[in-house]
Structure 1
Amino acid sequence: MRGLLGFLPWIVYAFVATGDEWRWGAITGLAIAAVLVTVDRRAGRGWDEIVIETSAAVFFACLTVFSLVAPDSPLTPYGPALVNAWLAGTAWGSLAIRRPFTLGIARTMAPREVWEAPGFYRVNAVITAVWAAAFTVAAVSLALVLSAAPHATTLVIVIKALSFALPAVFTAWYPKRVRRALAGER
């Protein structure tokens, strides 16, 4: 559950920002991300444990500046797609540098003796890849929906919800499945 808290700035942005007014969403996302990063760092959490929170702080700082400088930008309606594209880039980037963003979070929940095991890394790489794929599919889907039917609010909400819910369910399920398989269970 702790790892999902890092998505709070993104989720709140999704609720606060609208197609016509994304500034308040950006400012709110930035404020929440800054608080999360500050609280986590003061609590002694390493940067590898707060990749999503740090990514949110950078994204919402940039989006806040951009939304204030160009409030009527043609990108305004594509805010939801931009969020998912950024999250996809964060997840894929963490895999590219062989530091899946879930690894630091998983280390806070697993015994130290398994941290260096290849299986531990592999499980986190798979989980991160599922998040990355979900964000990528959501970014493309949202861009298409928003360009074809900009007022399809229900569909946009469904896509946003699924892009978080499906990988979250997978994240909870997959490590248990791997443990059962290693224990020889079916």
Structure 2
Amino acid sequence: MLLYYLRTFLPWLLLAVVSGWNDQAGAAAGLAAAVVLLALDLRKGSRLDALILEASALVFMALLTALAFADPHSVLMNYGASMAIGWLALTAWGTVLAGRPFTEGVGRRNVTDEIAATDLFKSITTVIAVVWAISFTVIAVVLAFVQHAAPDNTALLVAAKVAGFAVPIVFTARYPEIAQKRYFARHGIDREAVR
């Protein structure tokens, strides 16, 4: 699971790291990574609903790269980190509001079609998507504040990003098991019989 998230967020990580040196290079590196990762996933036959974050990264990186080269001194470039996470928040909230949380497609990679069709699966993936959306929103707001008030405080920027991603990653890893236990207990289902 951790490798999935590292791979999925590689364009965003490259953007963050390389932009510390040069905004144009950071945006271009993020865009290149987004193009390559999406192309590899499509080539290996991944379902489109499992690639929402990857497609969203591609669109954001393309827009940011265009801005970075068209107007490299734009005040918006001072808020690259908060804009990036804000974009992820909009993506996550959009999928939740559309009734197709991005986590549903990701979760389908690890379950059968029968399990993916259950209300329990849909409930779990929706809750996880909401947690990610909340986390992205909080990180974006915190980063915008830090980038405005203390833009050179790299330690605080990094700490906000790490905490903001650690919480939903840990939640995503643990919540399905917890939700299944509650569901089975509430319905009197023997978990061993289901396996």
Partner of 2:104: 103
- Hey, what's the Cα distance between the residues in 2 that align with 1:70 and 1:85? 20
Give RMSD over aligned pairs: 1.4
The offset of 1:103, in angstroms, is 0.5
**Count of residue pairs brought into register by the alignment:** 184
The one-character-per-residue Cα deviations of 1:53-103 (angstroms, maximum 9, x if unpaired) are 110000001100110001011111210000110000000000111110011
Partner of 2:47: 46
The one-character-per-residue Cα deviations of 1:8-51 (angstroms, maximum 9, x if unpaired) are 11122111112x72111110111111011100001011110111
The percentage of aligned residue pairs carrying the same residue is 41
Amino acid at match of 2:130: A
Partner of 2:193: none
Q: Structure 1 residue 16 and structure 2 residue 18: aligned?
A: yes
Amino acid at match of 2:163: L
Alignment TM-score, normalising by the size of structure 2: 0.90
- SS of the residue corresponding to residue 75 of structure 1 reads helix
- Hey, what's the Cα distance between the residues in 2 that align with 1:166 and 1:24? 29
- Larger CA Rg, structure 1 vs 2: 2
Q: Structure 1 residue 25 and structure 2 residue 29: aligned?
A: no
The offset of 1:183, in angstroms, is 3.4
- SS of the residue corresponding to residue 183 of structure 1 reads helix
- Hey, what's the Cα distance between the residues in 2 that align with 1:99 and 1:162? 26
Amino acid at match of 1:132: A
Matches within 5 A, 1:1-186: 1=1, 3-4=4-5, 5-18=7-20, 21-184=22-185
Structure 2 segments unaligned to the other structure (5+ residues): 191-195
- Hey, what's the Cα distance between the residues in 1 that align with 2:10 and 2:52? 13
- Hey, what's the Cα distance between the residues in 1 that align with 2:158 and 2:172? 21
Higher normalized helix content (fraction of residues): 2
- Hey, what's the Cα distance between the residues in 1 that align with 2:29 and 2:137? 24
- Hey, what's the Cα distance between the residues in 2 that align with 1:140 and 1:30? 24
The offset of 1:161, in angstroms, is 1.2
The offset of 1:126, in angstroms, is 0.6
- Hey, what's the Cα distance between the residues in 2 that align with 1:46 and 1:132? 22
Alignment TM-score, normalising by the size of structure 1: 0.95
